[in-house]
Structure 1
Amino acid sequence: MSLVSRTRLAALVAAVCVGAAGVTAWAYDDGASDTGRQDGSGPEVADQASVTEGSTLQIVAHPDDDLFFMNPDVSRSIAAGIKVTTVYLTSGESDGRNEAHGGALQDPVGPADHASYSEARQNGVRGAYAQMATGDRTSPWERKSIRTAGGGSAEVDVLIARPEVNLVWMELREARSISGDNPQSLRGLWDGKITALDAQLSSGSPVKQTFSYTKDQAIAAIAGVLSTYKPTTIRTQDPTPGRIEATGVFLDHQDHMYGARFVQAASERYAQSADRPHFSIQNYISYPNTGLPPTLDARAAEEKLGYLKTYAWTDREDWCRSPAGCGDRKTATRPTGAGWNQTIRYSRGDATSWMAEGAPGRVWAFAVLDGRMAYWTRGGEKAPWQGPQFLPGPGTGPGTALDTGATAVRLPGGRLAVFATRTTLGAKHQDYSRDLVYAVQSEANGAFGPWKSLGSPDTVDRSGTSAISGPAVAVDQSGRMTAYVRDSRRTLRAAAQSAPDGAFGEWKALGGAGLQGDPVAETDRSGRRHVYAATHGSVLAWVQPAPGAPLGGPFPTYLPPTTGVLSAVPEGDGVRLFFRRPGKGTVATTLATAGGQPAPRFSPVTETGGPGGYGAVGVVGDMLVGRASTGAVGLVGMAGTGGPQDWQESRMLFTGAPAGVADGPRTDVAAALGLDADLHVITPTPPPGSKPPAGPPAPWHRAVKP
């Protein structure tokens, strides 16, 4: 770490330790101090500290998908006290037998009873949510039947002790097969193999009248739920998990995949309504977590397992007083799933490249809201933030939406380009596809031009998979851009401009295998380009041995396993990588250098400081911004000036990944998109040599004051 870096970090430490409350006062400042107007002319009310606000709505295919694949995000949202609603598209009736197999948990084999097994799973879910919300799995619910916008019925459960916690049961028939081509399924309905999908009612449900949905009615029913609850964060599964190349079998349960596509279509319809707040979407990886390194620390994994054991009814106590049973006995023999209690992963929006400095001093932040690209901007250190404003629509009219995640890069002269992936739903199921799109400013601080498409490296079976990653983008000294993505085969692909402001060429194969997450790309001080991508057990590298030379690789790095998300920043004649340690969530780093060697060289891996967390980390000068072990956004100073430090946590949960800009001390800013679909920011460090503020530094706060 440079002397300047150490000076800046020391200034931060001194600032946050002002007063007896120290870091706690800085992290949890109530905004009561008087810090002066932004123009320095007089006092004004300080920025109000960010807390978790908004509302979340999870939509999953089966009872337990949320507990396995979205926790601890769900439990922490409940703990924050916001409105939390989970929607189950199918009844999860499987083969209709609620029985455990193996060892001491062996249950007698009984006759198939789909309605009863569905009820048992509902009972287990209600118990788990009651436990998350009140600590008591027996806490009662009010249950009622409602009519849906699709012409059918759904059960709505309201937790009496915590009425902001709701469960909605759509009670459709599940596929009853992970990958089998069963027409009576969400997949069959989406692909047009059936005209309508029947309900599978649960015994004990207040929904008594059976019904069926056409494809449009199912979309309308889900969109109606969104309109009723008006979430600011929608959580759903991955609509494009990919296939196993050798067999063509989906990497995920077909209900997960096609259920998420119905959510996409319903969200696109909901976005057209006027009476709603802005919303963001977070996608979660499900079965493909199997075999990947764990992302949660031991404490978080054990807490998650406790809720799963309640759902699985492992103790067999008759706490629910239901003849159907109080949980899912199929899960009882292995409530951890395939290691899923130790893991949570996002399939989109886990990159930290969505902020950039354009013209000197002007900072931009981008995020996808309502299926469109939103942006916020600030014209200088003392200028107010403005936004959200929106770039022109995603490109081809109704039936298209931008996916979660954005990548912003600076071009020579201060113009910006922003990249994203786009989903086209299409009139027919064969029309479903994804491509990469980008928009460029006409001049520094100017308007953005129309969206242009780079197409997709996936040209076969696009409607079936389209499992491309978000893009990493590099810019050479002339302003020519190159985009890098992971394709559906888990290899690296690249598309480059022929000239600055020119069209992009064809996608070229760069090799690699088993890539996870999004690639990262940076250019070192000498002009050499570095591209890195995580694999199951390490990281692969592609590096220019000299500026302008062909990109070499893939090279093995022999780095230790990561949780699959990488961050990178230039540092001298190299690029510094950051990643989380599996099973602990601590952040580690190494410096990669190149020059005269075919493969890059790496410094010893060191810990940056602070306890664990999960998800990607952004880099802001000498600070890391990321999700702490509690799920809240926080900052931590890198070790090197007194040893590891604790995360300086906010009281705000967020979606996606955090980001930051640190091109100069007066533009340093970290940001995160809150569950309220609003941008929240903090200035991590005071400028070197400046007088520390009279009170605690400003906390995390809304970029644009309400």
Structure 2
Amino acid sequence: MSLRRPTRLIRPFRRRRTVLAAATAAVLTGGTLAGVLTATAAQEETAPGAPRVRAEASARDLAPAPVSVVQFVSHPDDDLYFMNPDTAQSLADRTPLTTVYLTAGEANGVNARPGLAAVTAPDKPAYAEARQNGIRAAYAEMVTGDRTSPWDRTAIPTAGGGSAELDTLRGHPGVRLVWLQLREAGSPYGDRPHSLRGLWHGRVPALGSLRAAGTPVGADFAYSKEQVVATLTGLLDRFRPTFVRTLDPTPGTDARTGKLRDHQDHAYGARFAQAALGRWAERPGHPRVGVQSYVGYPNTELPRALDHRTAGEKLRSLRTYAWVDGTDHCGSPAGCGDLKMADRPEGRGWTGTVRYARGSSTGWLQPGADGGLLAFGVLDGRLATWHRAPGGSWRGPERLPGGGLDGGVGTVRLPDGRIAVFGTRTSFAGPAGYRREVVTVEQTAPGGRFGAWRSLGTPGKRDEADRTPDVSAPAVAVDGAGRLALFLRDGDHRLAGRERTPGGAWGPWRSLGGADLHGDPVAATDARGR
């Protein structure tokens, strides 16, 4: 986490077309659709005209693994600012939870309140240790009510060939913290080749470690891009989550400055996690996993989403992390928390909100042809469907072949009664090693199986730039004449759209204007068929 100057919120643009559409920001406080399905998205396409394939269901799908959560964040405190209160809810539910911190969070090494920073000597290993102490205190307090509850700290080998620190809350072994201790960028937006972003783009062959002062990890190491992905995949193998939380891998860029809207470590740490999840999805025998990504810095620009009591509980954990009271309750020479944040533990309004980067619409539910219900989500980056017959119980999931789907699938019933599903798919290809496109699949007959995935491309032509991947989940609706309208927030944070005629022919992408839109669009058809 690092701070930036807040910017002015611009109201979403609205335009009336054949179908009414509006871009909105999601205001949610809980987890994803875990009650009915564990949902986000990631999916792969079969070329148009390829043989149609059946969805698959197995006994393992119908007998889900025990619930377990893994959170991937880049810095100590990203989880407290951007994933809470969801983190606290998992802990209150006694769900096994492991948080993985990719970097040491050493910044400039100065652990002092802002007024004393100029007279405090920098010590990066000590500052990294102080932030660890603050996180351990905050988690202990959330679980036990006592921030001094002890932890067991050990070093574990990683699949990338290095070592990581594993902290386990004594008496609550399901609560674990993993510290990979890679060097952070040291700047939210600046050009830093020795960073997760530089490593992703091949600007450096390896990224070195920055070990905290008190860590049990005994030797320095360095990881290549492949070793980071292997390390995160190995942690998924070790902790076997059924649900994963990350920050937003595609926060987009500011149209005025060209800079990322979020800290570069946030975005690229999430991309490394996304790549590891894609690899883990191919491992046989792993539990089916859903993913939710969270908005980081852009929360500054958006309205509050939490009630005062929940926001107050979130702030309490951050005050503990920031060591506001200055009491020595950890016995560490490095300090017991992050004093940089002691004068402003609320950050830039982040304690008043939590927002999901994708998957905030209600388009995942449709009436079935038999009078029952069909629900749609994403497991292992594949489209998953659940069915409830009239008067019956939910059955599923059945998963379609393919991978790479992102969170936030939308569905629509076509004029002939078939259901079509729309989403976006991420692939790790091209010069930037990251590409996203809109994909769709539809039933071959009303109530029937789904056919092959088809790519609809993206509104922009900058597939290798940071902007293009930052497209929203799509919203779709059918008008009174049978035309299907698809809406998307593009990488420049404007509204874009594409229409399909009743005969099935798609028109080109068109810009619908707007400025500084956030969240996923929503589309609906009114009583007059517009």
For the superposition of Structure 1 and Structure 2, which TM-score range results when normalised by the shorter chain? 0.7 to 0.9
* Aligned pairs, number: 465
1:526 deviates by: 1.7
Are 1:339 and 2:349 matched, yes or no? Answer: yes
Partners of 1:159 and 1:132 in 2: CA distance: 11
Using the size of structure 1 for normalisation, the TM-score is: 0.64
1:446 deviates by: 1.2
Are 1:111 and 2:124 matched, yes or no? Answer: no
* TM-superposition CA deviations, 1:111-153 (whole Å, max 9, x none): 2211110000000000000000000000000000000011010
Contact 1:469 1:486 in 2 (8 A): yes
1:412 deviates by: 2.1
Specify the alignment match of 1:68 in structure 2: 81
Contact 1:232 1:280 in 2 (8 A): yes
Percentage of identical aligned residues: 51
Specify the alignment match of 1:392 in structure 2: 401
Contact 1:429 1:463 in 2 (8 A): no
Contact 1:128 1:310 in 2 (8 A): yes
Partners of 1:491 and 1:202 in 2: CA distance: 43
Specify the alignment match of 1:513 in structure 2: 515
Contact 1:415 1:445 in 2 (8 A): yes
Partners of 1:239 and 1:108 in 2: CA distance: 34
1:352 deviates by: 1.0
Partners of 1:513 and 1:101 in 2: CA distance: 35
Are 1:419 and 2:429 matched, yes or no? Answer: no
- Match of 2:114, SS? coil
Aligned-pair Cα RMSD in Å = 1.5
Q: Could you tell me which of 381, 393, 406 is aligned with 1:403?
A: 406
Specify the alignment match of 2:373 in structure 1: 363
Amino acid at match of 2:98: T
Q: Could you tell me which of 454, 457, 478 is aligned with 1:455?
A: 457
Q: Could you tell me which of 58, 62, 67 is aligned with 1:54?
A: 67
Amino acid at match of 1:518: D
Following superposition, which runs of at least 4 residues in structure 1 exceed 4 angstroms of deviation?
none
Partners of 2:345 and 2:431 in 1: CA distance: 35
Contact 2:480 2:528 in 1 (8 A): no
Q: Structure 2: which 5+ residue stretches go unaligned?
A: 1-64
1:362 deviates by: 3.5
Specify the alignment match of 1:192 in structure 2: 202
Partners of 2:309 and 2:508 in 1: CA distance: 47
Partners of 1:370 and 1:429 in 2: CA distance: 25
Specify the alignment match of 2:288 in structure 1: 278
Larger radius of gyration: 1
Partners of 1:386 and 1:204 in 2: CA distance: 50
Specify the alignment match of 2:527 in structure 1: 525
Q: Could you tell me which of 488, 497, 501 is aligned with 1:498?
A: 501
Specify the alignment match of 1:166 in structure 2: 176
- Match of 2:235, SS? helix
Contact 2:426 2:434 in 1 (8 A): yes
Contact 2:68 2:96 in 1 (8 A): yes
1:348 deviates by: 0.8
Q: Could you tell me which of 436, 442, 445 is aligned with 2:444?
A: 442
Which is richer in strand?
A: 1
Superposed, 1:537-616 pairs within 5 Å as none
1:316 deviates by: 0.6
* TM-superposition CA deviations, 1:175-199 (whole Å, max 9, x none): 0111111111000100000111101
1:455 deviates by: 0.8
Partners of 1:206 and 1:488 in 2: CA distance: 43
1:509 deviates by: 1.1
Q: Could you tell me which of 391, 396, 401 is aligned with 1:382?
A: 391
Partners of 2:370 and 2:283 in 1: CA distance: 38
Superposed, 1:27-106 pairs within 5 Å as 54-102=67-115, 106=116
Contact 2:488 2:496 in 1 (8 A): yes
Partners of 2:519 and 2:298 in 1: CA distance: 12
- Match of 1:217, SS? helix
Specify the alignment match of 2:19 in structure 1: none
Amino acid at match of 2:367: E
Specify the alignment match of 2:362 in structure 1: 352
- Match of 2:142, SS? helix
Partners of 2:361 and 2:336 in 1: CA distance: 40
Using the size of structure 2 for normalisation, the TM-score is: 0.86
Q: Structure 1: which 5+ residue stretches go unaligned?
A: 1-51, 395-400, 529-706
* TM-superposition CA deviations, 1:190-234 (whole Å, max 9, x none): 000011110111111000111110100100000100111011110
Partners of 1:453 and 1:166 in 2: CA distance: 40
Q: Could you tell me which of 238, 247, 260 is aligned with 1:228?
A: 238
